[in-house]
Structure formats: structure tokens, C-alpha cells
Chains A and B, each alone.
Chain A
Amino acid sequence: MTALLDIHDLAIRTGSKSLVADLSFSIAAGERLGLIGESGSGKSLTALAAIGLLPEALMASGSILLDGHQLVGACDRELVPLRGTAAAVVFQEPLTALDPLARIGRQVGEAVRRRAKRDGAATDKASITREVLSLLDQVALPDTGRIFNAWPHEISGGQRQRAAIAMALACKPKLLIADEPTTALDVTTQAEILALLKRLVRERDMALLFISHDLPVVAGTVDRVLVMQHGRIVETGAVADVFAQPQHPYTQSLVVAARAFDDALEMTA
């Protein structure tokens, strides 16, 4: 069976500067893949490229097949029907991922309505509202009636991230791209959001591309991991293998740093 997302020899450059090079990987339906790397290693660019949303100033070459459609060189009109249905994204910063001037119910509702229109389902106000409330419930938001009518600034950071996840789910994507979804959250909220993502991916049989710089977070969430440095993949393999026996010096330094952190925690405990 063909992969859901198949990236082959992807290179992204701005002017003469190379940002990402020789990038190849694929994600099968239902598979969970982690992408690790430091800031500026090209993780987020790769995610944007995977849904055809690279800024105009950046040039992509190579091949990106999303659900069988070539994204490199495709025009906007060809991309619109693919977005959302094939892949949706959860962003790092929950405050900027929601429009400050639209109530939560309306934002999630927009995504639901577009999806319903595409599927030929009912788009009347009552059924959209019902669907939005059910989505808010699925991402474990409390008091869905109040949150439906709340502005983004009236709910907490963790709740905003849940609302953003509900918006991504409204599209019923086959692939969910999570771009550092827990980085802006505190540790307990982080754990809750991770558990939520894991549950949703399993229940809905979605593939997951999980991007992070946080080793332990990735280790607990995905099956397979890619390590990126300076726009290139330096190591790849099953999570357990890569973390037990890191081959590349950069991965080794990441693992050592994570261990040192754990040890320090145990010493103080």
C-alpha cells in the first residue's frame, strides 16, 4: 500500500541559502512519526511543505506526495481541496492559532461547515452546532456550552490548545501534523494534551507527524523517529533503538542531555 505522505529528496532554499536538503521519509496510514531537532533545523519548514503552505519566498524542489497528490509546484487551487481532508496541523502557540476576534464555537464551526459542505452533509446551523459541541467534548473540554460562546482570551492556554485540536479534527484529516503542540504549555497540561493526542490518533486511526525538540515527549508519543540537524536527517529508526543506541553524535548529545536532566531530578528528589 502506498504511503499517506511520501517525501523524496526534498530541498528548501531561500535565494542561495539551503534550509533543508536531501530530506526523504514517508508516513503510512495510521503510523506515528516523530521529528526531532533543535531550533532552525528545518522541522517546521518540513511540516509546512508537507501541506503545501511554504511562504512564497522559499523554493522547494524534490517530491512531496500527500495522499497521492504531488505538492511541489502545485498551484493554490489544486491544494485547497487537499488541505484539511488529507492533513491538518496543530500549532505551537495556542494563542496565535486562534483568531482573537472570533468566538471558539464560530472558529471550530467554520472548519466543520467547510468539511460538511465538501462531504455533502447538512450545513444548517443546528447540526453544525451539534457537531462543534461534540468535537469540544471529544477533546475533553469542560463546560462545552460556555466555551462554545467564549472568546479565545477568556479561556486558558491548555483549553485553547484543545480548541485548536478540535479545529484540526473538524477537518477529519488522515494525517495530523503537530508542530510542537506542547512547548508553550506547563508540564501537567503538556501531559494531558499528549495523552489526548495519543487517544485521538488511536481512536480515529489517523497518522501523526509529531514535531518537537523535547526527547522524552517524543519518545512517549511516536513509534518511529527522525533526527534533524542543519536541515538534514542525521538519524532515523524505531524510537527504542534510536534512544537506546544513538549512532550520530548529535543524537548522542541529545540523549546524554536528557539523561543528565533525569539524574539531576533524582538527585534533588
Chain B
Amino acid sequence: MSESTIIIASVEGKKRRSWTFTIGAIIVGLQVVIGLMTLIWTPFDPSAMSGGRLGAASLVHLAGTDRLGRDLFSLIMIGSRIALTVGSGAIVIGGLIGITIGLLAAFASKTLDDVLAAGLDILIAFPTLLLAMLIVASSDGASLTTAIVAIGIANSAIVARLTRILAKRVLSMDYITASRISGTSWLGVVMIHVLPNIWPTLLVNLALQFGLAVIAEASLSYLGLGAPPPNASWGRLLQEAQATVYTAPLGAIAPGIALVSLVIGINLLADGLRDLADPTRRSRR
């Protein structure tokens, strides 16, 4: 490939990427603002019966009311906060555990590495939801914290496996040997070379895990294993709307749209994040 084709390709790629990044950032930003806003204000008291049962969408009740006459739009706004809380909590827990175990495996002796890799493969073979259900079921009871911890642990296996593979690839490079020769300790190698080099890929993966965590939380809540009432999780709104889905479809569609838009927004954002984190993918100044 000639120099000029590379440059053209990267310029076009950059345009497309920043476009998706902007849309992703707007969607996620909007959800964050709405989520934070519910801490101080919602259009209606989410637990009060402010309208008729199963009311249609109107200028007063933007997404109609549920079967108890509560304002659905207010509930969805609160659901946004819960989804973002669970997503952030889950990737912090999953990231910390996963990156630590992954790095350990990459540096460990062959035997320990084999044991860790096999353990991770077994964990990954369990569906995330099943694993999270097991953790919730074995704890005292369903709560928001249990859901965050359960989803975080379930996600950590995937993060750990990715970290291990990425770190191993970096560790096999000549610049690691060169750095070792100049007398860098293993901890120095991790901080100076390994983490910066695996970070762009890891960041994208963590962002995708965020989206999966949001879906996992909705699924747990749908099954009644997520945050208990009065927390209005999207999953629970979907479950409550299920019985009346033919008479009042908006009750299922509205939280569904909120969930899908957040996950799409996060995925678009993840795509753009990679380019921000990796200087070799930025265009030359």
C-alpha cells in the first residue's frame, strides 16, 4: 500500500468514527443528565397515582401511565439512573478484578497461567445471566448492590481473558526485552509499557461490557432478581407491562426504547473511544 492510500484511508476513517462518536456521546450524555436530574426532580412523583390506569401518551404524561396510574416517563427517567449506576459499578468491579487476574496470568509461570486460563474458560462458558443469578440467589436477597456485584464478577472473566491475551502479546515484543535490559522491574514494565499498550483495546471492551451490564441488569430485574421495588428498573417496567402488552403496548415499548438507545449509544461511544486512547490511530498533526 502506498503512503497516500494510507493517509486517505485514515482521514476517511477518522470522519466516520468521529460522527459515530458524537452521536454516541449525545445519547449517553443525555441519559446521564436525565439520570442525575431524577435525584432532585421528576415530572411526577414516581410512586404516586397521578393519572388514570393505563393512560395513553399525552402532553401531561409523555409515555402514558402504568396499570397503577403512575407516570411512566418519570419511572423511565429513574430507570436510566439505575441502569447507569449498575453499568458503572459493574465495569469498575469487573475491570478491577479482571485486569488484575489477567495481568497475573500473563506474568505467571506456565502452570499457574494454565490453571487461571482454564478457570476463566469455565467461568466464561457459564452464561453471564446464569452466573449473576447464582450469585444473587446465594446472597441474602436481591438488592441493587447484589446486582452490581453479581454482574461485575460475571463480566470480570471476559475482561481477565482479554487482558491476559493482550498483555502476553505486548510482553513478547522486543521493546519489553529492551526495557528489561535497561533494568526495569516487572512492575515498571506493567506501568510504562503493558497498561498503555493494552488500554485502548481494553477501554473499548469495558465500554461494550457496560452495555452488556445494562442489559444484564434489565434481565435480572425482569426475573425479579434485580433491584426490588420501589426502584423502577427498566427490566421491572418491562415485566410489569407484559400482562397488558396488548391493551397498552406503550408500557413495554417506552422502557424498551430507553434501554436500546442507551446500549446503542454506549457502543457508538466505545467505537470512538479507541481512537482517542491510541495515538497511533490519531492523524498526524
Residues of A within 8 A of B (CB): 48, 51, 53, 56-57, 80-81, 83-85, 87-89, 91, 93, 96-102, 107, 110-111, 114-115, 118, 151, 153-154, 164, 167-168, 170-171
Residues on the A chain within 8 Å of B175, using CB: 96-99, 107
Please count how many residues in chain B sit with their CB below 8 Å of the partner chain's CB atoms.
22
Q: B2 within 8 Å of A by Cβ?
A: no
Counting CB contacts under 8 A, is B50 at the interface? no
Given known pairs A98-B175, A102-B192, A110-B192, the reply for A153 and B280 (CB within 8 Å) is yes
Q: Is B182 an interface residue (CB 8 A)?
A: yes
Q: Which of B214-239 contact A (CB under 8 A)?
A: none
Q: Within 8 Å CB of B280, what residues of A?
A: 100-101, 151, 153
Q: Does B48 contact A (CB under 8 A)?
A: no
Query: Looking at chain B's contact residues, is the secondary structure mostly helix, strand, loop, or mixed?
Result: helix
Docked CA distance A110–B182 (Å): 9
Number of residue pairs across A and B with beta carbons under 8 Å? Answer: 81
Complexed CA–CA distance, A168 and B192 (Å):
17
Q: Which residues 236-285 of B sit at the A interface, judged by CB distance below 8 A? A: 278-280, 284
B279 & A151 in contact (Cβ 8 Å cutoff): yes
Q: Report A-chain residues with C-beta under 8 Å of the C-beta of B193.
A: 99, 101-102
15 contacts between A and B (CB under 8 A): A80-B183, A84-B181, A91-B177, A93-B174, A97-B174, A100-B197, A101-B197, A101-B278, A101-B279, A102-B193, A102-B196, A110-B179, A111-B182, A114-B183, A168-B178
Contact string, B171-199, partner A, CB cutoff 8 A, digits 1/0?
A: 00111011111111100000011001100
Bound: A114/B173 CA distance, A: 21
> A56 vs B184: C-alpha distance in the bound complex, in angstroms?
18
CA separation between A250 and B275, bound complex, in Å?
51
- The closest CB in chain A to the CB of B192 belongs to A110
Q: Given A101-B280, A102-B196 in contact, is the A80-B185 Cβ separation under 8 Å?
A: yes
B109, B173, B174, B279, most chain A CB atoms within 10 A: B174
The reply to whether B177 and A167 form a contact with Cβ atoms under 8 Å apart is no
B197 near A99 with CB under 8 A, answer yes
Q: Is B177 within 8 A of A53, CB to CB?
A: yes
Residues of B near A115 (CB, < 8 A) are: 182-183
